[in-house]
Structure 1
């Protein structure tokens, strides 16, 4: 008796550059490049929002909306601020993500790590790979702030007969992955999530760099940080900072991908372990253990990091409410006023988890408005209940 061929094996991925099923809302996660496009109507985060179902599948339950920390940050067992005692040279922060990935390979917990290197021709052009050596993992350090088709490697997982895998990715990629993970033939899947917001196309990134940095051609990486500044790292090792409030919003308002403008998974709620910066003090990273698999991953690097409890200070609500019309109207302040406002807010503004909530609130209200205006028919089903509850705290413009 011959084995039945899985239904997705009969499908064929779409060529690069062709229109995807999610059309303008496609986040280019890579699923549709493969024969796993067979499952796109169920798996795509922008065709089928299914947080409750997938949280229950991954964590054993959905988040508790009566607990503010869970409403904001998702199902979790613990969260801490952390940093490596011996940072990795050239890492964007201290190198926790790279260290954990290398450790999992060395301990033979996994046979490969899905991560993103840069194209040989362009440091900001993502090149997803399945790394099988520490050297390949280290070559992927530093974030690539552009849409990245990580799931183009799904067919390689089958062809390489990988059974134990670590996948590093952002929310839209992880939702699609979780929806098809049972079809991959894996014995064990580990998911290391990165918080993600406001990605751009390569052309959009260039516009952002050209309008914001003093030297766009030498930027190695950048990040929107807790001190309300964008930090640019340059080839010569120097750091350039630009206040949030000094960004040329009137020119950049439409630079972000439509998928990012309609996304509500900032904190990567379906990962096992999340490593970012948003809930930690400046210079530290924020680690969120969501389940037992995440705890296993955390324990692997526990002897390489120092930790401190997360903290929260300030009140974000007035700042968020004021930011809604400012962004909506594309307000751009003179640089002197932007720097002054940045100094004041850094001193008295939200910090720690309150800063994280400020960032979530600001983006969720913006994204809710974007979805309501551009995709009104999708609004009710597309916006998760936790996001609706967060947005309901604020007064939005009447259209």
Structure 2
């Protein structure tokens, strides 16, 4: 057994001990298990291997301008291997869900129909609504207890040992890009008959202390925030305990104060769209109030069909041009520029009317974060620049003029 599964001889790293990825550790949880044996191969920040894992998961790597000119193939270059994209929302939203509850609904259907024996998802601790607590949900009630995003680093993979020891053979895992890359890298060692992966897009995460700094700096009532999201109208939307909504324009954020709040792993990430999931559910490429669905393979199609009668859909659209806005944002972020609130609100109104929408807004978000992250890696980890930045990200970044 140990010859077949050498990881069972490995010991998890104790909390607080030095991680193999050092300061780039995203705290995905892999190192908290005996699967740490595989970390040097599996960790997204030690061994970036999106292309090889796309081949393993989807049967092929995404097309880039090495095969097709960039302007002829923008969707796959940006959004990864996929069969279809659409905008969707539940006809009857789940109460208390961050959006309409598509992720929770798919997970519940898979559990109720016996397709899986458990669902890896993230609840929160009783003491803190923002403190993530990864669990293997075995009932619909446990899945619903995980609704609403936790915008902090979360050790989702810390439950891998429990999965193996439980004898589960069919599993659904919900997670973000760095977690899913590590999961795909050790997938064959889990002893599963079937693994389903439902991914969510992810841009910037923070530690719990970093989150508090963001809330304190940005919201008028940080202690009552239930959840928040950076939305397509170029505003941060805060939902409060009393049901009220507070919005703050992107351009009014205290960039100088918040530049260092994001985790170094997030500042070094190039998998915002969760390339290795079977199905991705987010919002950035959809109209306001809708969710953006990316079906990557036949497994993802199977998952989406479970809730087809519960959702309404519409085609994705794309409008406006992003390049000028992205180019202007590069030095503004680099210098920590913050506009007066009146100017930030005015700019937000103007850009909302004439700026990028739909898939073009998603490309705007990808471009602005990839250029920022490329600069971060170049400045802080120049020895990793060539191997760590995927080919598709290099092609996206080449569209812009970057400072030194």
Distance 1:254 1:208 in 2: 11
Distance 1:140 1:15 in 2: 26
**Is the aligned partner of 1:136 residue 2:136?**
no
Q: 1:182 aligns to what SS in structure 2?
A: helix
Q: CA deviation at 1:378?
A: 0.1
Structure 1 unaligned residues grouped into runs of 5+: none
Structure 2 unaligned residues grouped into runs of 5+: none
Distance 2:241 2:85 in 1: 33
Q: 2:265 aligns to what SS in structure 1?
A: helix
| 1:215-242 alpha-carbon deviations (Å, 9 max, x no partner) | 0000000000000000000000000000
Distance 2:227 2:141 in 1: 20
**Is the aligned partner of 1:11 residue 2:17?**
no
Distance 2:4 2:399 in 1: 50
| 1:280-339 alpha-carbon deviations (Å, 9 max, x no partner) | 000000000000000000101111000000000000000000000000000011000000
How do 1:44-55 residues align onto structure 2 when only pairs under 5 Å count? 44-55=43-54
Structure 1 partner of 2:124 = 118
Distance 2:50 2:77 in 1: 12
Q: 1:79 aligns to what SS in structure 2?
A: strand
Distance 1:303 1:80 in 2: 15
Q: CA deviation at 1:279?
A: 0.3
Structure 2 partner of 1:164 = 170
Contact 2:90–2:312 (8 Å) recurs in 1: yes
Structure 1 partner of 2:23 = 24
**Is the aligned partner of 1:287 residue 2:293?**
yes
* Number of aligned positions between the proteins: 397
Q: CA deviation at 1:3?
A: 7.5
Distance 1:147 1:227 in 2: 25
Distance 1:157 1:344 in 2: 50
Contact 2:134–2:159 (8 Å) recurs in 1: yes
Distance 1:120 1:380 in 2: 43
Structure 2 partner of 1:56 = 55
Q: 2:271 aligns to what SS in structure 1?
A: coil
Contact 2:2–2:9 (8 Å) recurs in 1: no
Contact 2:278–2:295 (8 Å) recurs in 1: yes
| 1:231-271 alpha-carbon deviations (Å, 9 max, x no partner) | 00000000000000000001000000000000000000000
Q: 1:166 aligns to what SS in structure 2?
A: strand
Contact 2:2–2:8 (8 Å) recurs in 1: no
Structure 2 partner of 1:37 = 36
Q: CA deviation at 1:68?
A: 1.2
| 1:180-214 alpha-carbon deviations (Å, 9 max, x no partner) | 01000000000000000110000000000000000
**CA 1:238–1:57: 2 relative to 1, 3 Å:** same
Q: CA deviation at 1:278?
A: 0.5
**Aligned match for 2:157, one of 151, 154, 162:** 151
**Aligned match for 2:377, one of 363, 371, 377:** 371
Measured on the aligned residues, the alpha-carbon RMSD in Å equals 0.7
**Is the aligned partner of 1:191 residue 2:190?**
no
Q: 2:261 aligns to what SS in structure 1?
A: coil
Distance 2:327 2:3 in 1: 56
How do 1:290-329 residues align onto structure 2 when only pairs under 5 Å count? 290-329=296-335
Q: CA deviation at 1:5?
A: 5.3
**Aligned match for 1:340, one of 337, 341, 346:** 346
TM-score of the superposed pair, with normalisation by structure 2: 0.98
Distance 1:104 1:51 in 2: 27
**Is the aligned partner of 1:247 residue 2:253?**
yes
Stretch of structure 1 that moved more, 10-19 or 268-277: 10-19
**Is the aligned partner of 1:86 residue 2:92?**
yes
Distance 2:43 2:343 in 1: 42
TM-score of the superposed pair, with normalisation by structure 1: 0.99
